[in-house]
């Protein structure tokens, strides 16, 4: 029997948790987008009021990644013109200046990010030393995104001062083999489990608009729900020349807003964080995302693309009646 989406939305507004098929029905373009966003917004406000969080990232190792992810400019399997950076050449003084500037603007989280599926032992030792130096000089919340972990490495990160570990699943389990063949979805889940076992919070999301189906989007959301992650960064594909997805068609802003709203409905008390690609994909509709379930963002530049000026971002968020919270 067809799902009555109007009745379903009324039930969701009263606290109902939709099934997979019910959530999938909400991605239908015929469902009233404004009504869907209103419900997503009310769910966000119940958990977070008007508070939004900001994090910033710093690429401590760039390029020379052996993974063959179809979307990534840093993969050696793609033909992008990326200037590589070794972690050994990363200057802690520069990082600390960057962290202090971002913290002064209200950014509550900072993450070191490295390319590659797994750091060598020597690279990991350099990373841990960087983290310890940052921790001594700043009280900003620290995250790390350094690829595959075992339990020993996860514990080392925790002991060095890392609070949260970022490791995206990228997409649904079903679609993942179509974007990457050098590592498996199960290996990603294993790293997430090690990070949690070490006492770290989990930041884990993915990328919308890689050619996945609506079914895949719900499958990804349901997987994140099952993993019970803390923060969910949602990127929108920015097709980069030289990657296998350079000609990928991007979802419409309306479809992106619909996906954001359904993620919020399925994950009512989690942080849903705008990540890369939002500017180019959303255009003038970008800030409508904050009415569709988004309650955090990555501020400043991304890994291989430039973001927005943080001061301008904060001015716009303030104008929308949103309040920066350094703990989100």
Q: What is the tens place of the pLDDT at every residue in 106-131?
A: 999 999 999 888 999 999 999 999 99
**Burial state string for 289-320 with b = 16 or more CB within 10 A and e = fewer than 16:** bbbbbbbbbbbbbbbbeebeebeebbeebeee
Looking at residue 1, its pLDDT comes to 59
Q: What is the tens place of the pLDDT at every residue in 11-20?
A: 999 999 999 9
CATH homologous superfamily of domain 55-324? Aldolase class I (3.20.20.70)
Q: What is the tens place of the pLDDT at every residue in 247-304?
A: 999 999 999 999 999 999 999 999 999 999 999 999 999 999 999 999 999 987 655 4
Measured in degrees and rounded to the nearest 5, phi and psi for residue 143 equal -125, 165
CA 262 to chain centre: 16
Q: Of residues 251 and 74, which shows the higher confidence score?
A: 251
Q: Distance of CA 46 to CAs 55, 76, 191, 222, Å?
A: 22, 45, 32, 21
Q: What is the tens place of the pLDDT at every residue in 286-298?
A: 999 999 999 999 9
Least Cα distance to 324 among 34, 136, 43, 56 occurs for 56
Tell me the C-alpha distance between 196 and 192, whole Å.
6
Tell me the C-alpha distance between 97 and 92, whole Å.
9
């Amino acid at each position: 029997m067809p799902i009555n989406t109007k009745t379903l939305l009324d039930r969701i507004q009263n606290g109902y948790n939709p099934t997979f098929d019910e959530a999938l029905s909400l991605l239908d373009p015929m469902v009233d987008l404004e009504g869907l966003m209103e419900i997503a917004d009310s769910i966000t406000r119940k958990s977070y009021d008007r508070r939004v969080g900001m994090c910033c990232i710093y690429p401590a190792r760039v390029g020379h990644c052996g993974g063959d992810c179809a979307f990534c400019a840093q993969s050696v399997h793609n033909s992008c013109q990326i200037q590589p950076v070794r972690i050994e050449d990363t200057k802690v003084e520069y990082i600390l200046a960057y962290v202090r500037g971002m913290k002064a603007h209200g950014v509550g989280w900072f993450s070191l990010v490295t390319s590659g599926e797994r750091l060598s032992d020597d690279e990991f030792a350099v990373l841990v030393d960087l983290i310890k130096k940052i921790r001594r000089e700043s009280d900003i919340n620290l995250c790390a995104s350094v690829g595959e972990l075992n339990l020993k490495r996860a514990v080392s990160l925790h002991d060095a001062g890392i609070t949260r570990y970022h490791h995206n699943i990228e997409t649904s389990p079903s679609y993942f083999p179509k974007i990457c063949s050098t590592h498996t979805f199960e290996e990603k889940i294993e790293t997430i489990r090690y990070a949690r076992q070490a006492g770290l919070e989990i930041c884990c999301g993915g990328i919308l608009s890689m050619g996945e189906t609506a079914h895949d989007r719900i499958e990804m959301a349901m997987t994140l729900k099952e993993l019970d992650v803390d923060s969910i960064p949602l990127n929108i594909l920015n097709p980069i020349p030289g990657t296998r997805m350079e000609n990928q068609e991007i979802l419409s802003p309306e479809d992106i807003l619909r996906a954001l709203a359904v993620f919020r409905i399925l994950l009512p008390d989690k942080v849903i964080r705008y990540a890369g690609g939002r500017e180019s994909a959303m255009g003038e509709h970008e800030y409508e995302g904050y009415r569709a379930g988004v309650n955090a963002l990555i501020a400043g530049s991304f890994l291989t693309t430039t973001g927005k000026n943080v001061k301008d971002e904060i001015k716009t968020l303030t104008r929308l009646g949103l309040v920066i919270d350094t703990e989100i």
